[in-house]
Structure 1
Amino acid sequence: MFRTALRNVLAHKARLLMTVLAVMLGVAFVSGTLVFTNTISQAYQQSSAKGLDHVDVAVKPERGEGDGAKPGAAPKLTQDLLDKAANVPGAASATGTVSGFAAIADKDGKLVGEGWSTTGANYYAGKDGKDPRYPMKDGRAPADKGEIALDAKTAERAGFKIGDTVRMSIDGPVLTPKVSGIFTTDDGNVAAGGSLALFDTKTAQSLYAKPGQFSEIDVQAAAGTSQAALKTEIEKVLPKGTAEATTGKQLADEQAEQIAGSMSGMQTGMLVFAGISLFVGIFIIANTFTMLVAQRTKELALMRAVGASRRQVTRSVLLEAFVVGTVAAVAGLAAGVGIGAGLRSLMGSFGGAVPDGPLVVSPSTVLASLVVGIVVTMLAAWLPGRRAAKIPPVAAMNSVHAAATTKSLVVRNTIGALFAAAGTAGVLAGVGMGSDGKMPMSLGAGLLLIGVFVLTPLLSRPIIALASPVLKLFGISGKLARQNAVRNPRRTSATASALMIGLTLITGMTVIAGSFQKAIDKMATDSLKADYVVSMQNFNTLSPDVEKKLQKIDGVTATSPLRNSPSRIDGKSEYLTGVDARTIGDLATLDFKQGSWDGLGGHKVVVDADTAEQFGWKAGSGFTVTYEDGKKGTLQVAGVYQGNEMLRGIMLDKDELAPHQAEISDMQVMVKTSDGATASAKDSIRTALGDNPAIAVEDKKDISDGIAQMFTLMLNMLYGLLAMAVIVAVLGVINTLAMSVFERSQEIGMLRAIGLDRKGIKRMVRMESLVISLFGGVLGIGLGVFFGWAAGELIGASVGTYEMVLPWGRMGLFLALAAVVGVLAALWPARRAARLNMLSAIKAE
């Protein structure tokens, strides 16, 4: 049986090629994802660990816990504590660090670095006048507030040299220091494409903390002192409840865990699409083995007649699948290593630099690739093998087994109907449950997808029949194509289902993204009366000086900041949002359920409906709040409004909030001008703010376009990933048609003999392929719209402006894509059918 299985594999090399390709693509996606994410993760971990070479123990501020704790920022570390840490037994040196956001503009005025990774820090000179973390490559360390040092990669990218003036921003106002030095660093953020600017310690403290304060103290151990022993000594000098010590090894482990966690989201997302490709591939594999087994029915029957048992027949089919799966898995693993390397290079070409490191092909990646390829192939081949073994030898040799029994079709349709009904009920139940309906909706969507797949043989006849009027235009070729498409409903459904799954996902995501984009547009239009919103490019906080500059611009009629401050209410953490009570009504429109903007001011606040419901508040309710400075106060609800994604929470007058804030900073500033949103007004604002690269000045259209760009990027990524499933589906159509042509060799030879020319044969195969592909496309788009509507209902529960928008143009494009898939997939099978020798084909068995 083993020799027979191997002989069968080698005898059908061409027929099994498509199956190998389908499995290989899925495995390549899995292995490529694992190689890519493992490589990136290890590169960042090694870079981070290298950056901690000079840190044996790190001292950081400790935030208090519990209901009585102050809600504000954790306390900073003092110079006195730094001196004590440097003098504990076993300490060789201690370094005080302070850091924060620093946006640097290149010579063209564009932001250098990757947003969150644009960092500023202090150069802490030791006894020898040098900071071992930042060896100078050129020039010297910064000495006063008019100087900075830049990392070598940023200086190279932006074209800066010693003595150049740099335009930069910390929290809004533009700074113009000169470059005093260029240094090298092992900082992982810099290696990944970010930027690092160093100030002298005094300047850095004035920018990011307070004079004499640090955000972290790094201590290096003397020779012969362990990290644990040094930590013990340092803990003896730490003020209780103010600071905590952590060993360098713990920090490295924590960073490695954080990096692995950040990579896991990307890895999971990519593996989901790999799973979709493999799931689609299952249909192709099952189709292939079903047809191969059908073609060898008499051979298998003869084996049964001469003594082979049912288990031996099933095992022989599974052995073929094992060989095919192994070959596909090995090829997929090799292709995946190439994909992983390519993705890393591609990431670099898009500006997302990656720290240097080797390509990581771990044993788990190799094992996962082999297991996935072999198991998926064998699972898909098991049912055809089992079905073949159950056919009685005499019946098989007489071919009376060919047609599916009425009983089997009734059972299949009944099961499919039950799954579809249960799935539809689950989806509708999820819709009715609002934000709590995610689980039943997800389960229902899965059941409905399975149900439709099981029912596709039943659905194929009536849906394909709708194409009859069009097919008749192509004469006898069109008529034969329709009959061939419904001749074997199971095969047609399996082929169409592969395409259906990909288009379901693509359509559903397009409907959700388009509808959500429309909701954001409507929200921006309805809730913002302001002409512009000014904010930091990286969503950091703005200096209050920015609003002062905006108020002095000619034509600006009203401004209001949005500034957040942590607080505690009834033992729960809540953010207070400070606004200008005098002007906020001119800048924002909200749907008030009780009260209005007019009541805002002093100790009176307005709250969104969700927060009011959470605490049981209504207009006139009073409550006690603990501010970030630890002081308590009493506030009164003057209005309750319907919150949205742009405005929500507890709003109070900024003058009431300011005395309790240690550092006043704005998340954004809303601006209204006398002439409305015009190009000249935007230019005036930008000029007044010093053409700062770190500050974004956006009108309603800019806000909408920014969100649209984000959705477009996300959709394009999803389309690219789902393209793998579509490619696999194309292979399935080619595979089905090729085997169908082989099975119908006699029939095609007879058609040629009675007068159907080669063009007619080609047209017949192409029409059959087109009908099958469009059948899958119609089902996929229909299911995608349904799932998009259902998911949108969940989104609508939290986004009041959400309403479903059907992307008719995109859906038409998807249907056209399905047609193109059908035409392209038929090229080779149609050519093969047309070139069959009619006499040889008629004599074929």
Structure 2
Amino acid sequence: FTTEDGAVNAGGSLVLFDTATAQQLYLKPGVFQNATVSAEAGVSDRKLLDEITPLLPKDATAQTGKALADRQAKDIESGLTSLNTMLLAFAGIALFVGVFLIANTFTMLIAQRTRELALMRAIGATRRQVKRSVLLEAGVVGTLASVIGFLLGLGLATGLRSAMGLMGGKIPAGPLIVSPTAVGSAFAVGILITVLAAWLPARRAAKIAPVAAMSSVHATASVKSLVVRNSIGGVITLLGSAGIVGGAASGGTSGRQLIAAGAFFALIGVIILIPLLSRPVIALVRPALKKVFGVSGKLASQNAVRNPRRTGATASALAIGLTLVTGISVLGVTLGQAIDKMTTDNIKADYMVSMASGDSLDESALRALSKADGVTALSPQQAAWFEVDGEYHSASAVTPGDVEQVFSLTVESGSLASLKDGQVAVGSKTAKENGWKTGDTLPVKFDDEKKGELKVGAVYKENEFLSPFVIPKELADEHSASTRPEIREIWIKADGGASKANEQAVVDALGDNPAMSVMDRQDIRDMFGGFINTALNIMYGLLAMALLIAVLGVVNTLAMSVFERQQEIGMLRAIGLDRGRVKRMVRLEAVVISVFGAVIGVGLGVFLGWAIGRTLSADIPGYALVIPWDRLGVFLLLAALVGVLASLWPARSAAKLNMLTAIKTE
């Protein structure tokens, strides 16, 4: 049949049953979940609603079609809130990195126009007028950039829809919606970020005395300002680090919130301190650069620390991006290995059978598998619920005697053989929290509203694949409120372990049904660990924008540096430095700055990954910090490659300078 159902248009499926079959499978005979009513011609929705409401039972409600559509739209919007928040967070990171690029650009532009600004001051321009001129320039640049960025954003949104379709994802058809809020936000953010980033350079330019500025092209920072900057940066870094360590020690949600606040301050503090850190850190590699690359390496290391503020601002952009990438990598790899260990430690089964759609399996699948060749143990993981002392508890209904062969269960007291006698097993944490022990009798209210008593026959160490209560399947079937048991998975132990023959026997027993998924132990490990890898890839993709901005910052810094050093480069060419070594000097300078920022980012990222992991360790059995040295090495190599690629154009420009023209440049 055909349908305009939104879920189907978005890639989902829809199956229709006749009423009797649907009630038998999912509810009870004569029971309905909802009903749709159509009005006669001329009858309003409101009037029909008033007529229907008195006819309904007390626990039923009625609403108009419009109200239902509005509620569903609101539910969908609410469901996308977390996705929107995540995307906005990464957009904020990209903007934060962009601030350094903009501020660095205006700082260099103002340094080049120092004499021009000083002359304006000398002929009567006030500090306020100088500052205003720079900020107006930033406003014009921000407006133009916002227009271009907004148009590119619309193109990106259209392209993403097409890309999702090519990758198999589907979204409901409909026009691209451009709301006034989106337009206003884009332009407000673009212009404000640019103006705010240019404010500090504008303020610094306005404070330059006319006579001092006209006597020197470069306005260097005073010793006092650097001391104040480093002192403030040191205090902020210590406060942030203390917050991160405190959050790691606290654990839980509150600990993670403390780590987030500490990370923010630590990152700000390190950014402030980066100019101070650049000299000693780059000094460590200076001998190696000189030995390997000769005079080009020596000049590159000296140029990299000639203007610590500029080097710091450029390296900061890379440091921010790599801090996040490294932290996510450390956390992701650590969690991935913990989940993989949890899977291998808790599962003995050779195969897991489930519905590919995520629905529950039918009882017939269990019966068919029990007759399959090579099956030595078979247990469902069937969902059940009951109430103990007014509190609901979930339970896993299993096959007594077989459950021990498909799951690794550590019994702390009692015996799992008691399941055959209708007794239950309780997880140790749940038993400890409620003061239960082996031999206790618990008053329960079952899912079918009947009351009874259950005896605790065993207490076992929690298995992440089972509920806190483990009960025999017969007990769950006896007190189920539904005619169809909710079998989430079926776990199978095969004679001789996993093999092609045993897997084929399982598939054949299920009738080669494509709606059912048969996974071996490696498939199960990949399924649970795959989420972590997918999340990591999404994070890497979102952070790529911030790293791209950082690369542009390196290009910008080198281009401005080459422009400022035209006379110096001309002198070097005149005394014998050939074009090849000029290119090498600029490239090495870019590599030094990029790797310096990467080292800072990787170090801070490992620190954050460790801290966040500590807050999760209590909830993840077998958690142990794993530092992915191979990935960290790749990050540093990529940073060096970024430096090489970013330097291609500036290095070529430097090598092509006419030495006589460059020497005459003022």
Matched with 1:405 is 222
Q: Deviations over 1:65-101 (max 9, x none)?
A: xxxxxxxxxxxxxxxxxxxxxxxxxxxxxxxxxxxxx
Query: Does the alignment pair 1:201 with 2:19?
Result: yes
Matched with 1:512 is 331
Matched with 2:265 is 447
Give the counterpart letter for 1:714 in structure 2.
A
Helix, strand or coil at the partner of 1:816 = helix
Matched with 1:843 is 664
Matched with 1:780 is 601
Query: Does the alignment pair 1:465 with 2:283?
Result: yes
Pick closer, same or farther for the CA change 1:661–1:835 going to 2, 3 Å.
same
For 1:642 and 1:490, how far apart are their aligned partners in 2?
57
Query: Does the alignment pair 1:693 with 2:510?
Result: no
Pick closer, same or farther for the CA change 1:609–1:447 going to 2, 3 Å.
farther
Aligned residue among 371, 374, 394 for 2:188: 371
Matched with 1:254 is 71
Q: Deviations over 1:138-190 (max 9, x none)?
A: xxxxxxxxxxxxxxxxxxxxxxxxxxxxxxxxxxxxxxxxxxxxx32110011
| 8 Å CA contact 1:318, 1:378 repeated in 2 | yes
Helix, strand or coil at the partner of 1:577 = strand
Offset at residue 593 of structure 1 (A)? 4.4
Offset at residue 599 of structure 1 (A)? 4.5
- Report matched runs for 1:321-720 at 5 Å: 321-399=138-216, 402-436=219-253, 437-472=255-290, 473-602=292-421, 604-663=423-482, 664-720=485-541
For 1:420 and 1:428, how far apart are their aligned partners in 2?
12
| 8 Å CA contact 1:602, 1:656 repeated in 2 | no
Helix, strand or coil at the partner of 2:125 = coil
For 2:139 and 2:200, how far apart are their aligned partners in 1?
14
Offset at residue 826 of structure 1 (A)? 0.3
Q: Deviations over 1:755-796 (max 9, x none)?
A: 111111111100100110111111122222222222222222
Q: Deviations over 1:46-79 (max 9, x none)?
A: xxxxxxxxxxxxxxxxxxxxxxxxxxxxxxxxxx
- Report matched runs for 1:814-833 at 5 Å: 814-833=635-654
Offset at residue 401 of structure 1 (A)? 7.0
| 8 Å CA contact 2:115, 2:217 repeated in 1 | no
Offset at residue 257 of structure 1 (A)? 0.5
| 8 Å CA contact 1:231, 1:246 repeated in 2 | yes
Unaligned runs of 5+ in 1: 1-182
Offset at residue 519 of structure 1 (A)? 1.2
Query: Does the alignment pair 1:308 with 2:125?
Result: yes
For 2:165 and 2:218, how far apart are their aligned partners in 1?
58
Deviates more, 1:452-461 or 1:823-832: 452-461
| 8 Å CA contact 1:644, 1:799 repeated in 2 | no
Offset at residue 197 of structure 1 (A)? 3.2
Offset at residue 676 of structure 1 (A)? 1.0
Offset at residue 620 of structure 1 (A)? 4.1
Q: Deviations over 1:293-348 (max 9, x none)?
A: 11111222222222222222111111111000000000000111100111111111
Matched with 2:568 is 747
For 1:307 and 1:608, how far apart are their aligned partners in 2?
82
Helix, strand or coil at the partner of 1:607 = strand
Matched with 1:5 is none
Deviates more, 1:728-737 or 1:603-612: 603-612
- Report matched runs for 1:45-194 at 5 Å: 183-194=1-12
Query: Does the alignment pair 1:233 with 2:54?
Result: no
Matched with 1:153 is none
Offset at residue 626 of structure 1 (A)? 1.8
How many pairs are equivalent? 662
| 8 Å CA contact 2:381, 2:466 repeated in 1 | no
Higher-strand-fraction structure: 1
Percentage of pairs with the same residue = 55
Offset at residue 625 of structure 1 (A)? 2.2
Deviates more, 1:277-286 or 1:508-517: 508-517
Give the counterpart letter for 1:574 in structure 2.
H
For 2:137 and 2:272, how far apart are their aligned partners in 1?
26
Query: Does the alignment pair 1:221 with 2:39?
Result: yes
Helix, strand or coil at the partner of 1:245 = coil
Helix, strand or coil at the partner of 1:668 = strand
| 8 Å CA contact 1:531, 1:699 repeated in 2 | yes
| 8 Å CA contact 2:594, 2:642 repeated in 1 | yes
Matched with 1:146 is none
Q: Deviations over 1:277-301 (max 9, x none)?
A: 1111111001001111111112222
Unaligned runs of 5+ in 2: none
For 1:367 and 1:683, how far apart are their aligned partners in 2?
60
| 8 Å CA contact 1:559, 1:671 repeated in 2 | yes
Give the counterpart letter for 1:197 in structure 2.
V
Offset at residue 838 of structure 1 (A)? 1.6
Give the counterpart letter for 1:392 in structure 2.
A
For 1:618 and 1:487, how far apart are their aligned partners in 2?
72
For 1:623 and 1:817, how far apart are their aligned partners in 2?
61
Q: Deviations over 1:382-436 (max 9, x none)?
A: 1111111122222222239722222222222222222221222111111112224
For 2:103 and 2:463, how far apart are their aligned partners in 1?
49
Pick closer, same or farther for the CA change 1:641–1:402 going to 2, 3 Å.
farther
| 8 Å CA contact 2:416, 2:425 repeated in 1 | yes
Helix, strand or coil at the partner of 2:16 = strand
Deviates more, 1:799-808 or 1:612-621: 612-621
Helix, strand or coil at the partner of 2:132 = helix
Pick closer, same or farther for the CA change 1:758–1:613 going to 2, 3 Å.
same
Pick closer, same or farther for the CA change 1:602–1:439 going to 2, 3 Å.
farther
Give the counterpart letter for 2:96 in structure 1.
F
Helix, strand or coil at the partner of 2:395 = strand
Offset at residue 740 of structure 1 (A)? 0.6
Offset at residue 217 of structure 1 (A)? 0.6
Deviates more, 1:193-202 or 1:375-384: 193-202
For 2:179 and 2:474, how far apart are their aligned partners in 1?
58
| 8 Å CA contact 2:396, 2:466 repeated in 1 | no
Pick closer, same or farther for the CA change 1:658–1:200 going to 2, 3 Å.
closer
TM-score w.r.t. length of structure 1? 0.76
| 8 Å CA contact 2:112, 2:217 repeated in 1 | no
| 8 Å CA contact 1:601, 1:652 repeated in 2 | no
Aligned residue among 538, 542, 548 for 1:727: 548
Helix, strand or coil at the partner of 1:567 = strand
For 1:510 and 1:461, how far apart are their aligned partners in 2?
29
Offset at residue 591 of structure 1 (A)? 3.9
For 1:657 and 1:209, how far apart are their aligned partners in 2?
17
For 1:826 and 1:594, how far apart are their aligned partners in 2?
68
For 1:596 and 1:394, how far apart are their aligned partners in 2?
92
Give the counterpart letter for 1:623 in structure 2.
L
Give the counterpart letter for 2:261 in structure 1.
L
| 8 Å CA contact 1:495, 1:733 repeated in 2 | yes
For 2:217 and 2:174, how far apart are their aligned partners in 1?
63
Offset at residue 539 of structure 1 (A)? 2.5
Deviates more, 1:347-356 or 1:201-210: 201-210
For 1:735 and 1:550, how far apart are their aligned partners in 2?
66
Helix, strand or coil at the partner of 2:233 = helix
Pick closer, same or farther for the CA change 1:469–1:193 going to 2, 3 Å.
same
For 1:417 and 1:595, how far apart are their aligned partners in 2?
58
Give the counterpart letter for 1:743 in structure 2.
E
